[in-house]
Each structure stands twice: as C-alpha cells, then as structure tokens.
C-alpha cells in the first residue's frame, strides 16, 4: 500500500489528542506522514484586538514559538504512546485560519485525509460539532474523519453509508473507503432513505459504479421507508452496531440536507461513532 498523507488539526485539547491517537491506531499497519497542524491567527488577533502593527508582530512571534513547543510536546506524547516506525510526524504552526491552512496542505502535499475531534477546546456539550469542525467538514477539499469525544478505537468492521444514489462519486474518494474497509474486512451497509423505493436508471448506474469501486468490502444494499433522514440514520447505527458513518458532502446529498437544516446537531447528539465525510471534488 502507498504512503498515506494525513493532516491532524489540533488545538491541544484532549479531544484533539484523542483524534490523533485514533489516527495512529486506524493506520497502524500503513506507512503514514502525519502533519500535526495548529492554525493560530485567531489567537493573535483575539489577544491584540486594537494593537499597533509592531505589537501585533511581537504577539505573533510569541504565539508562534509557544505553538511550536506545544506541537513538539504532542508529537513526543504520541510517539511515547504509540511508537511505530511506519509513522512520521511533522509539526506545522501556521498563521492563518484552519480551513485555509488545511486546504493549502491538501494542495501542497496531495493529502488523503484530515482527522480531527468533533469538538475542540470549548467542548460545548449542547453541540455535536464545534464551529471549527463544521467549517472543516464543509469546506476542506479532502475527506475528513471526525472522532467523537472520548471515542476509544476499535476496528471499524461495520460501516454505514447512506446514499440517495443521485450523484456519481469520485474514484479517489471511493478508493480511500475501499482500502480502509478492505484492510479491516469491513461490511459496508448502503442505506437508501426513500419512501418511494424504486431507483431510476441514473440511480442504478451510480449504484453499479459504487459497487465496482468498493470491491474489497462486503456490500449490502438496504432501503428504509423512514422519511426523516436523521431518524433513519440514527436508528440504523444503534440497531446494527455501526462503527463508522460515511457521508458525502455534495449538492443534493443527505449530508448537505443535514448541514443546511442544522439537523447535523440532532443526529450528532446521538452520533457516538466516527463520521467520515467524503468531498465529492475533482482533484
């Protein structure tokens, strides 16, 4: 298998370290370059709202040095916890916003994946995804794997992939899912949420394409007449001991519906499993 390139954004919270820990276990047997990223522009501007330019520059340097030290400490900690000669870590302290910095890395290193906690330092229990995580899920140009707070790693053997089969998916994204499911001999449960049930010819073609590109997994296709996508997905996760939820961020997808109707938080309050969001972009 080829070298995996993965960015792990961190705000140095317990949730962020748990996501890093999950990442090292998920790809335990693969060669990986992990880019541990902290974007600190907001900290600098928050500290020096009405500063002069020179004060701002001084603060920027202080925060940069502090960030570099904290990143090195995180890398020491993860190496102590999970020493693995296949894994290489690089610390990146960036003066910018999180989504922009991740996208720059995606373009620079042709990254495969971003892995992060569902919530960061603020850890507001009334929401599922912190604002940073939501921004990353929606706007980052590579797949994103979000790990719930305190989630302990176990092999992802049962994956739920709800789809309306209306969009043709990208091969690169499906290849990641195929390899991931193949290495864990996973079952992928395709769930079609539609009270009408019958697939159009376009949907049949898209389903065939999915099957062709997910050959390494055991694929089962099921339909539910439940109209509410959130309820349908939540019920399925609970009743089938699902280890990971896979969704696609594209126009007219279940994920877009949920994000734009703010129901992502409804599902997320029950979402106790990692969420893999594929971005349906040409790269």
Q: pLDDT: is 106 or 170 the higher one?
A: 106
Residues 59 and 109 occupy one common structural domain: yes
**Last-in-domain residue among 104, 122, 147:** 147
Residues 140 and 181 occupy one common structural domain: no
Query: Is 207 domain-assigned?
Result: yes
Residue pair 278/143 in contact (Cβ under 8 Å)? The answer is yes
Alpha-carbon dihedral sign for residues 262, 245, 153, 36: negative
Residues 64 and 168 occupy one common structural domain: no
The distance between the two most distant Cα atoms of the chain, rounded to a whole number of Å, is 65
Q: In angstroms, rounded to a whole number, what is the distance separating the alpha carbons of residues 232 and 26? A: 27
Residues 214 and 261 occupy one common structural domain: yes
**Last-in-domain residue among 91, 113, 147:** 147
Query: Is 152 domain-assigned?
Result: no
**Last-in-domain residue among 86, 112, 147:** 147
Domain that holds residue 143: 4-147
Nearest to 191 by CA among 233, 145, 130, 251: 233
Alpha-carbon dihedral sign for residues 130, 134, 140, 146: positive
The most confident of 45-59, 139-153, 168-182, by mean pLDDT? 139-153
Residues 179 and 271 occupy one common structural domain: yes
Residues 195-235: tens digit of each pLDDT? 677 889 999 999 999 999 998 888 999 998 888 888 888 88
Residues 232 and 275 occupy one common structural domain: yes
C-alpha distances out from residue 190 to 16, 66, 176, 198, 257, Å:
30, 46, 16, 15, 18
- Residue 145: is its pLDDT beyond 60? yes
Q: What's the predicted TM-score (pTM) here?
A: 0.90
User: Cα 262 vs. chain centroid, distance in angstroms?
Assistant: 18
Residues 62 and 185 occupy one common structural domain: no
Residues 126 and 14 occupy one common structural domain: yes
User: Cα 70 vs. chain centroid, distance in angstroms?
Assistant: 23
The tokens for 115 are: 């892995």
Residue 84, domain CATH: 3.40.50.620
Query: Is 206 domain-assigned?
Result: yes
Residues 78 and 196 occupy one common structural domain: no
Helices 131-139 and 98-109: crossing angle in degrees, nearest 10, is 40
Residues 134 and 223 occupy one common structural domain: no
Residues 3-15: tens digit of each pLDDT? 999 999 999 999 9
Residues 93-106: tens digit of each pLDDT? 999 999 999 999 99
Total number of domains in the chain: 2
Per DSSP, the three-state class of 16 is helix
Give, as one character, the DSSP assignment of residue 165.
Answer: S
Residues 204 and 248 occupy one common structural domain: yes
Residues 33 and 138 occupy one common structural domain: yes
Query: Is 38 domain-assigned?
Result: yes
User: Cα 150 vs. chain centroid, distance in angstroms?
Assistant: 16
């Amino acid at each position: 298998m080829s070298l995996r390139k993965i960015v792990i954004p961190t705000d140095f919270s317990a949730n962020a370290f748990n996501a890093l820990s999950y990442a090292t276990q998920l790809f335990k047997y693969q060669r990986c370059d992990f880019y541990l990223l902290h974007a600190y522009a907001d900290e600098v501007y928050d500290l020096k709202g009405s500063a002069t330019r020179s004060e701002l520059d001084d603060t920027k340097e202080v925060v940069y040095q502090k960030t570099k030290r904290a990143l090195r400490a995180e890398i020491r900690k993860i190496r102590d916890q999970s020493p693995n000669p296949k894994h290489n870590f690089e610390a990146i302290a960036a003066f910018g916003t999180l989504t922009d910095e991740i996208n720059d890395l995606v373009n620079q290193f042709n990254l495969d994946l971003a892995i992060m906690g569902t919530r960061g330092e603020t850890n507001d229990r009334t929401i599922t995804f912190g604002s940073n995580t939501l921004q990353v899920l929606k706007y980052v140009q590579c797949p994103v794997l979000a790990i719930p707070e305190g989630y302990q790693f176990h092999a992802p053997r049962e994956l739920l992939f709800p789809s309306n089969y209306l969009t043709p998916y990208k091969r690169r994204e499906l290849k990641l899912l195929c390899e991931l499911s193949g290495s864990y001999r996973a079952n992928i449960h395709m769930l079609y949420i539609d009270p009408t049930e019958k697939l159009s010819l376009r949907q049949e073609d898209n389903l065939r394409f999915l099957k062709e590109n997910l050959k390494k997994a055991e694929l089962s296709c099921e339909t539910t007449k439940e109209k509410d996508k959130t309820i349908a997905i939540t019920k399925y996760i609970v009743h089938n001991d699902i280890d990971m939820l896979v969704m696609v961020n594209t126009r007219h997808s279940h994920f877009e519906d949920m994000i734009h109707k703010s129901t992502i938080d409804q599902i997320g309050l029950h979402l106790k499993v990692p969420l893999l969001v594929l971005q349906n972009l040409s790269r």
